[in-house]
Chains A and B, each alone.
Chain A
Amino acid sequence: MRRLTIPAALAAALCAQAAYAQEETVTIGIVTAETGPLAAPGKFQMNGFNLAVETINEQGGFEVDGTTYKLELQVYDTRCNAAEGASAMQRLATVDQVPIVLGELCSPVAAAEAPIAQDMQVPLIITVPTASNLTEQDNPYFFRINAHNGQLNRALADYVQTIDAEPLAFIAWNNDAGRGGVNGMQALLPEDYEIGYVGYFNVGEVDFSNHVTNIRNSGAKSVMLLMDEEPGALAIRQLRDAGLDVQLIGTLAMGSNRFLDRLNADYLNGMVQYNSFPPNAPLERIKAFSDAYSAKFGEESHGFAAQSYDAVFAAVEAMKAAGTTTDGAAVRDALAELSFEGVIGPISFDEQGQASPPVYMTEWCEGGDRKVIFPAEMVADCGAG
């Protein structure tokens, strides 16, 4: 009797352990910039990831093949440095053995990480870099959830031709994103469209006085600022302080209350910018995310956060569809077939791994609000942009 009891107790213990093990944790890899010159946009990206993980875990996690999983993030700071990005990607694939990696801010770093994703068969979804050629490399393990320069520029080029903006001047980052943006925009505008001036600046530069002088000399009527929030605020202040009365055209980084806080309504009045995520747009999916984001972080939501939030859900949906939380190749195949309604819009990837979220144009109003001015079906008054 005694001999029978011990194996029975062991079996019971093992069964109990198996039942307990039905709720497990899956770790997703994150590459971002937590320090360095792009630490500020990196924070928006991390906020999006953290909010998604918190939302999923509070809902009890997600089920894959009968097992409920909660999410954890393994974050590496790539500092917008290609070597560190490649190293982090390698480590996530080999040491941490994550099924999928999300994030990255910088196009050159994403380009360094992409071949490792392919070699190690770990899918990588980038959520911010915009260089168009990233998703033209026939890399089946590389996906991008955000719009690329070509998509963003299309909306901007269409809009610019509807206003009196000629000659047009550019100030852009001296990197893939900035140069790609300028080249892309010039390719989309008619051949005879007059470009008054093109000036580039390096990441970390804060003095735009040279560009101001050259733009004044060129007689430009409008200035397109292809850069992020911090240099954007500096460039606008220096253009306005120098007395240049030009139409300002900016990026999605310049359509937020945070950006308004850096300047004031007088500096921004009349400026237009493209946007992949107008945080106050009258759409339920955007409103729900913006409310949750503001409640958690005490600030207006941001496009980088929304894109990153959606990437976590894309990863979870892919793991659910693939029926695995460990097989990167299977998760990749599921991603390629994925289709779901994200915060930024309907998400599915084309054969190059590129999603096609909607692109908006917003304009700053006199009182510091924004309105949606493009596309026509989304046009909304001040306070809704």
Chain B
Amino acid sequence: MATAILEQFINGAMMGSIYVLMALGMVLIYGVMHVLNFAHGVLFMVGGYMAHLYFFNLTGSYPLAILCSMASLALIGMVLERLIFRQLRDNLRMQIVASLGLILIIQNGVVQLWGPHALQMRPASVDALVRVGQLSFTVQHFVIIGVVALAVTVLYLFLTRTRLGTAMRATSQHPEAAVVVGIDPNRVYTLTFMIACALAGLGGALLGPLFLIFPQMGDAPMLKALSAIIIGGMGSVPGAIVGGLGIGILESLSTLVIPTDYRDTIVFGALILMLLVRPWGIFGVRVRGEH
């Protein structure tokens, strides 16, 4: 049983790392712009397709393909923010509807461009195996965990040690006061969307090669990330990290004792329990009068 727990813990940490990337992107957008971007899952998927495109057609190098994919997604994020979300800024509901519409547009656009068949991408890290006792994992499992840890560290340093990061936090905490001290909110919103989309791109570029790259690959991670940010606390960066990792490990370990098809039940059961017991999440702040 110890072997099975270790195997599932590593698998859970790997998937949890992907949820962390997704959750961080959604938290940044929610924290700064107060919008739940439901299209984050399809942006994650586009990250996988972009990595495939760069890997096979332009760079031939997986690390370069990841970076190019992140850059492309940042660009896409900038365009989406300026063309859609900025125009709808005063209407929260319309922003949510727009993000739902983007899911269909982007998914069907990808099917038109790349076809309905799933794509494969096999960098060396996916084919190479690591033995851990009697267990065997692909190197990509540990690449994902390591790269996400690095990305989280860089993001933390950016948010806490740079002027732009400070501007983002200031806008998130009090937009009007941020304007008073000379912060341009439009610039912050665009930057936030770019970083969030780049993180989604990173997630897609990391996970796509391990499994498959296909139009629905971001659907489940998006739902899990949404659960992670609610469990962790809406708008909380540490909450997104703990929530994402926690959900990944919880759903993996739970399958050792319950049927695998009930693992989503465990995740969403935990979500409902958290909403009942502590609706503001692990790291969230309770707001008086908020239900």
Contact A35 B260 (CB under 8 A): no
Q: How far is the CA of A200 from the CA of B255 in the complex (A)?
A: 11
Nearest residue, chain B, Cβ from A262: B120
Chain B CB within 8 A of A199 CB: yes
Contact A204 B216 (CB under 8 A): yes
Q: A243: which of B136, B216, B255 is its contact (CB, 8 Å)?
A: B136
Nearest residue, chain A, Cβ from B120: A262
Contact B11 A210 (CB under 8 A): yes
Residue numbers in B under 8 Å from A40 (CB-CB): 116-118
Q: Taking the nearest CB of chain A, how far is it from the CB of B241, in angstroms? A: 20
Chain B CB within 8 A of A202 CB: yes
Chain B CB within 8 A of A317 CB: no
Contact A35 B217 (CB under 8 A): no
Q: A242: which of B15, B135, B220 is its contact (CB, 8 Å)?
A: B135
Contact A42 B11 (CB under 8 A): no
Q: Assuming the A-B contacts A206-B211, A209-B8, are A214 and B256 also in contact, with contact meaning beta carbons closer than 8 angstroms in the complex?
A: yes
Contact B15 A42 (CB under 8 A): no
Q: A201: which of B1, B4, B217, B260 is its contact (CB, 8 Å)?
A: B260
Chain B CB within 8 A of A332 CB: no
Q: Taking the nearest CB of chain B, how far is it from the CB of A50, in angstroms? A: 15
Chain A CB within 8 A of B111 CB: yes
Q: How large is the interface on B (under 10, 10 to 19, 20 to 34, 35 or more residues)?
A: 35 or more
Contact A34 B7 (CB under 8 A): no
Contact B255 A174 (CB under 8 A): no
Contact A210 B120 (CB under 8 A): no
Contact B8 A39 (CB under 8 A): no
Q: How far is the CA of A42 from the CA of B216 in the complex (A)?
A: 16
Residue numbers in B under 8 Å from A212 (CB-CB): 7
CB interface residues, A 225-248, toward B, < 8 Å = 230, 233-234, 241-243
Chain B CB within 8 A of A211 CB: yes
Q: B116: which of A42, A209, A217, A243 is its contact (CB, 8 Å)?
A: A42
Contact A230 B260 (CB under 8 A): no
Q: Assuming the A-B contacts A199-B259, A210-B252, are A234 and B11 also in contact, with contact meaning beta carbons closer than 8 angstroms in the complex?
A: no
Q: Taking the nearest CB of chain B, how far is it from the CB of A30, in angstroms? A: 16
Chain A CB within 8 A of B90 CB: no
CB interface residues, A 13-67, toward B, < 8 Å = 34-37, 39-40, 42-43
Chain B CB within 8 A of A381 CB: no
Q: Assuming the A-B contacts A199-B259, A210-B263, are A216 and B4 also in contact, with contact meaning beta carbons closer than 8 angstroms in the complex?
A: yes
Contact B212 A199 (CB under 8 A): no
Residue numbers in B under 8 Å from A242 (CB-CB): 7, 135-137
Nearest residue, chain B, Cβ from A200: B261
- Fill in one digit per residue for B169-200: 1 if any A CB lies within 8 Å of its CB, else 0: 00000000000000000000000000000000
Contact A204 B136 (CB under 8 A): no
Nearest residue, chain B, Cβ from A230: B118
Q: How far is the CA of A204 from the CA of B224 in the complex (A)?
A: 14
Q: Assuming the A-B contacts A209-B7, A209-B252, are A174 and B261 also in contact, with contact meaning beta carbons closer than 8 angstroms in the complex?
A: yes
Contact B261 A234 (CB under 8 A): no
Q: How far is the CA of A209 from the CA of B216 in the complex (A)?
A: 19
Chain B CB within 8 A of A337 CB: no
Contact B111 A210 (CB under 8 A): no
Contact B214 A230 (CB under 8 A): yes
CB interface residues, A 76-119, toward B, < 8 Å = none
Which of B15, B118, B129 has the most chain A CB atoms inside 10 A of its CB? B118
Residue numbers in B under 8 Å from A207 (CB-CB): 11, 15, 211
Chain B CB within 8 A of A205 CB: yes
Q: Taking the nearest CB of chain B, how far is it from the CB of A27, in angstroms? A: 24
Nearest residue, chain B, Cβ from A171: B260
Contact A213 B216 (CB under 8 A): no
Q: How far is the CA of A263 from the CA of B92 in the complex (A)?
A: 46
Residue numbers in A under 8 Å from B129 (CB-CB): 241
Q: Taking the nearest CB of chain A, how far is it from the CB of B107, in angstroms? A: 8
Q: Give me 4 other A-B pairs in contact (C-beta within 8 A), A202-B264, A234-B212 excluded.
A: A35-B108, A35-B116, A209-B8, A242-B135
B residues adjacent to A (C-beta < 8 A): 1, 3-4, 7-8, 11, 15, 107-108, 111, 116-118, 120, 129, 134-138, 211-212, 214-217, 219-220, 252, 255-256, 259-261, 263-264
Q: Can you give 22 A-B contacts (C-beta < 8 A)?
A: A34-B116, A35-B111, A35-B116, A37-B214, A174-B261, A198-B259, A199-B259, A202-B261, A202-B264, A206-B211, A206-B212, A206-B217, A210-B8, A210-B252, A210-B255, A213-B255, A214-B255, A214-B260, A216-B3, A241-B137, A243-B134, A243-B135
